[in-house]
């Protein structure tokens, strides 16, 4: 257990901070970009990426250890800075009276979570689809990086529901998991790692640069840090949907190239009884029906229950992990 939560008062502060963060997220959403730590992280990664990754016209060796090491060192430097700032903030906050400490921690934990934004964006895709297919495709670009120009209405909806399930782990479950284990530094470093994977974790060319080796460390780090939370998210989702998680979840999750994102996405497909997938890459619950507009609403409602249950479970975990007195 992280030392910060080693005493009852500190654990109480952490639990209150978690609920404050979720309340602020639900009521107000994201802070302005100029005050958003994830935006600051993105700026650092954009700068570092231009130094770490070769341009697309460069001739790179088959095993490009130079750019792999550059990517790894920039990742480690950024993670160290993020950890240090978060640790210093947490240490100072815990010196304050309990209620004020919880507020200080909760306000900085909030930007590591993005449930409201995720929910709003997914529902916006559904609303845009009701207007026209082109409007739905345009709105989907806010959620996914894939080419959407050839997607029909069902495929647009599939992509939105998939993104909801995958990002539920990235934006809620995993940051809280690491907050419970390692305090604010854990949540902050996870958000750094996930953002680095989103910006650097590509196999080929993107944005005029080749990321195959420069982004490999970032991709693997995110795989490691997301491994347990993604499985928790998938199992909890099926349990709350009233389906046994051991029936098909592991098999379906293995259909995706990612070691982690398949778990919440497969769980969502099984929970709704629909087919989800990326054309030419994978299909989840391939025998399911195509999702309809009602399924988007069902998916959001299920994720809402997952968020509430997970915050409750996380609060209980922080209490149970306190050292026992003799």
Asked whether residue 176 is assigned to any structural domain, the reply reads: yes
Number of domains forming the structure of the chain: 1
Asked whether residue 287 is assigned to any structural domain, the reply reads: yes
Tens of pLDDT along 210-229? 999 999 999 999 999 999 99
Nearest 5°: CA angle at 170, between 165 and 171?
A: 95
Tokens of 64: 């490009």
pLDDT of residue 59: 65
pLDDT of residue 56: 82
Over the Cα atoms of the chain, what is R_g? 20
pLDDT of residue 322: 77
> For residues 247 and 258, what is the distance between their CA atoms, to the nearest angstrom?
20
Residue 296: which domain range? 3-320
Question: How crowded is residue 36: how many other Cβ atoms within 10 Å of its Cβ?
Answer: 14
Asked whether residue 127 is assigned to any structural domain, the reply reads: yes
Asked whether residue 73 is assigned to any structural domain, the reply reads: yes
Of 169, 150, 148, whose CA–CA distance to 159 is shortest? 148
Strand 205-206 and strand 282-284: the pairing is unpaired
Asked whether residue 15 is assigned to any structural domain, the reply reads: yes
Tens of pLDDT along 73-118? 999 999 999 999 999 999 999 999 999 999 999 999 999 999 999 9
Please say whether the beta carbons of 321 and 315 come within 8 A: no
pLDDT of residue 7: 61
Q: Which residues of the chain register pLDDT less than 70?
A: 1-9, 59-60, 323-326
Tell me which long-range contacts 218-223 makes (C-beta under 8 A, separation of at least 24): 218/71, 218/75, 218/193, 221/75, 221/193, 221/196, 221/197, 222/193, 222/194, 222/196, 222/197, 223/258, 223/259, 223/260
Please say whether the beta carbons of 12 and 323 come within 8 A: no
Question: How crowded is residue 61: how many other Cβ atoms within 10 Å of its Cβ?
Answer: 9
Asked whether residue 325 is assigned to any structural domain, the reply reads: no
Asked whether residue 138 is assigned to any structural domain, the reply reads: yes
Asked whether residue 326 is assigned to any structural domain, the reply reads: no
> For residues 167 and 307, what is the distance between their CA atoms, to the nearest angstrom?
12
DSSP summary character for residue 278: E
pLDDT of residue 1: 40
Tokens of 223: 């795989």
> For residues 200 and 304, what is the distance between their CA atoms, to the nearest angstrom?
30
Please say whether the beta carbons of 68 and 216 come within 8 A: yes
């Amino acid at each position: 257990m992280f030392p910060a939560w080693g005493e009852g008062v500190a654990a109480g502060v952490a639990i209150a901070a978690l609920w404050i963060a979720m309340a602020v997220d639900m009521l107000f959403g994201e802070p302005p970009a100029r005050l958003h730590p994830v935006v600051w992280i993105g700026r650092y990664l954009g700068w570092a990426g231009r130094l770490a990754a070769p341009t697309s016209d460069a001739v790179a060796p088959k095993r490009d250890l130079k750019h792999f090491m550059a990517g790894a060192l920039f990742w480690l430097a950024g993670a160290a800075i993020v950890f240090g700032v978060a640790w210093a903030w947490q240490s100072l906050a815990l010196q304050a009276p309990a209620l004020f400490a919880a507020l200080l921690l909760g306000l900085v934990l909030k930007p590591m979570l993005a449930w409201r934004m995720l929910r709003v964006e997914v529902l916006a895709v559904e609303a845009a689809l009701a207007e026209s297919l082109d409007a739905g495709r345009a709105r989907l670009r806010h959620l996914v990086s894939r080419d959407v120009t050839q997607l029909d209405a069902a495929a647009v909806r599939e992509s939105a529901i998939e993104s909801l399930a995958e990002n539920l782990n990235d934006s809620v479950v995993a940051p809280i998991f690491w907050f419970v284990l390692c305090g604010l530094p854990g949540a902050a470093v996870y958000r750094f790692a996930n953002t680095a994977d989103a910006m650097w974790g590509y196999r080929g060319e993107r944005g005029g640069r080749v990321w195959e080796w420069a982004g490999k460390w970032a991709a693997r780090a995110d795989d490691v840090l997301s491994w347990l939370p993604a499985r928790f998210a998938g199992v909890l989702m099926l349990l709350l949907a009233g389906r046994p998680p051991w029936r098909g979840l592991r098999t379906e999750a293995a259909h995706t190239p990612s070691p982690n994102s398949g778990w919440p996405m497969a769980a969502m497909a099984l929970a709704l009884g629909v087919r989800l997938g990326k054309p030419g890459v994978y299909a989840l619950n391939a025998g399911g029906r195509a999702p309809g507009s009602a399924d988007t609403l069902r998916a959001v409602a299920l994720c809402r229950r997952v968020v509430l249950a997970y915050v409750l479970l996380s609060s209980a975990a922080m209490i149970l992990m306190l050292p026992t007195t003799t």
